[in-house]
Amino acid sequence: MQWTTVRDASLAAGFLLAVLGPAVDQMVRGDKARGPAPELRKAASPPQLPPRSLKALVRLPATWEAHHKDTFGLRDHLLRARNRLHWFGLGLSPGMNIAKGKDGWIYTRVDRSREAWRGTLPMTATELELWTRTLEERRAWLESLDIHYLHVVAPNKETIYPEHLPEDWRKIASAARSRLDQLMAAAQGGAIDMLDLRPSLRAARALDRPGDELYTRHGSHWNGNGARAAYTAIMDRVQARFPETRPLLESELARLYNQGRGDTWGAHLYLADLLFQREWFMVHEGGPRHEVLTSGNERTGLTRTRKHGRPGPRLMVFHDSFGPYLQGALAESFPEATFVWQKRFDRERVLDERPELVIELFVERQLASSDHLVAAGR
């Protein structure tokens, strides 16, 4: 009888905690602490009270529900427990955009990466023509201003490390061509200066060591060795057009290790501490030698640097999230450099800065769609 009493009391206490826990958490912590920031999005805004229009009144229940889903009590802790069960207990990925590969590797499904890899998302003739025509128009316009144009594609992680992919990423045919294959073939022999980094990165795999590969195991970007191989290939191509340019020597490069969680999808699963990623960046030995005139990031977009006495052209780089891994080394290699973190090719920015060399550097996933070409007016 006593055991039954203890059991019943424990069940009652557990029930009360389950019911009251979220409410207590909502009183103790703010919405931001429980919100979806690790998922790279903002919480849905709460409704205005009282509603200021009939439309707002009608939408009040849906608006409140959307906000509550993103901020309810213990949300982050409950998601962490669920994701931990899926990842470590069931061996499954709990996220639609995250694929659990072999040997602890993680791949992203963002921008239909899986479909593109498998060969089920080839470019149509219309898409391929739009891409080649757009890049040719940019090249011709820049050439009219005496500016050289170099288009660089950073390969997707699965392009360089396919052996760790999950089984459901198998190609529909061994000879299936990727969208990057199609674009490179279409541009071959033309006037567009396009740099395919795949050969350089595949060759650099000889430097791989466990946990120190070209790309991060738990993220989607290249690690220090991958960025170094890309930098070398880019500078070799630039030197062919600007012989006075001098790349950094191996002895001038050093490693700067990320003291945070690194590039890991574990952060988006609320498991950053369990899926930790060791990550490093290329920096100048002994510290930077260039001057930072304007410092930007993904939100502010613009970074300007200067290095007195460095030979070479004035540089402008339009880039995505792969660009910052090269930014420090490129800033050391050119007398002036402007880094613009945005998809859109900005002609007004080019006219304002008047560089002598424009590099576009974007990951292969950007080829999954041509919508941004049309939206940007090319």
Q: What are the tens digits of pLDDT across the range 277-333?
A: 989 999 999 999 999 999 887 777 799 999 999 999 999 999 999 999 999 999 999
pTM, rounded to two decimals? 0.88
Instruction: Determine the pLDDT at residue 57.
Output: 83
119-175 pLDDT, tens per residue? 999 999 999 999 999 999 999 999 999 999 999 999 999 999 999 999 999 999 888
The structure tokens 């709460």 sit at: 46
Report the first-to-last Cα separation within the chain, whole angstroms.
78
Identify the pLDDT of residue 139: 96
**pLDDT band at residue 30, thresholds of 50, 70 and 90?**
confident
For 337, the token pair is: 């450099």
Strand partners, 257: 280
Cis amide linkage into residue 324, ω under 30° from 0: no
CB atoms within 10 A of CB 134: 17
Strand partners, 316: 338, 358
Helix ranges (H only) for 188-269 are 198-204, 224-241
Q: Which pair of tokens denotes residue 72?
A: 């309810």
CA distances from 190 to 4, 140, 148, 183, 284 (A): 82, 12, 15, 12, 36
For 54-113, the pLDDT digits (tens) are 888 888 889 888 888 888 888 888 899 999 999 999 998 998 899 999 999 999 999 999
What does the pLDDT read at residue 1?
Answer: 47
Residue 282 backbone dihedrals phi, psi, to 5 degrees: -75, 130
Contact 169, 102 (CB under 8 A): no
Q: Which of 41-50, 175-184, 197-206 has the lowest mean pLDDT?
A: 41-50
